[in-house]
Amino acid sequence: MAQTDLSERLLQRIEVVSAVLLIVLTLGAAWLFSWNAAWGVFLGGGIVVVSFQILKWQLRRTLQRPGRLPSRAAVFLSYYVRFLATLFVVFLVLYHGLATPIPILIGLSVMVLSIVLVGAFEFLMMKKEES
């Protein structure tokens, strides 16, 4: 149970940090560049946050069925369908000119930055506890 609680807390931290980063990066883009750039950052961040939430739902649904493990093919298929759907949404946003590539790329980086920041924070806390 303790491992599950730790995993849930880490997921919640990543989600909170990603929301804060999305707000900060969107406002920063509006302040430094333009509202169009901010909109692109917001769209990219929104796309990746929704994709992350779907991935979390998929993995929970897959792993929380006691005694019934799905086939690897089914897991990979659902993963790649979600990934391709995300790529298709990004393509549509860029194709229809709703955002420019650089701001949307910055927005799409929100989850990676969140994971790195939470991981670095956890590492520093472990090192602090050791000393």
Q: How many domains does the chain have?
A: 1
Structure confidence at residue 3 (pLDDT): 67
- 52: Cβ contacts below 8 Å, ≥ 6 apart: 15, 18, 111
- 104: Cβ contacts below 8 Å, ≥ 6 apart: 40, 41, 43, 44, 47, 90, 93, 94
Structure confidence at residue 49 (pLDDT): 95
Structure confidence at residue 78 (pLDDT): 87
Per-residue pLDDT of the chain (131 residues; tens, 9 = 90+): 566 788 889 999 999 999 999 999 999 999 999 999 999 999 999 999 999 999 999 888 877 776 777 777 878 888 899 999 999 999 999 999 999 999 999 999 999 999 999 999 999 999 988 87
Structure confidence at residue 119 (pLDDT): 94
Please check whether residue 90 is in contact with residue 104, taking contact to mean a CB–CB distance below 8 angstroms: yes
Domain that holds residue 47: 2-130
Structure confidence at residue 20 (pLDDT): 96
Any idea which residue has 């929970």 for tokens? 60
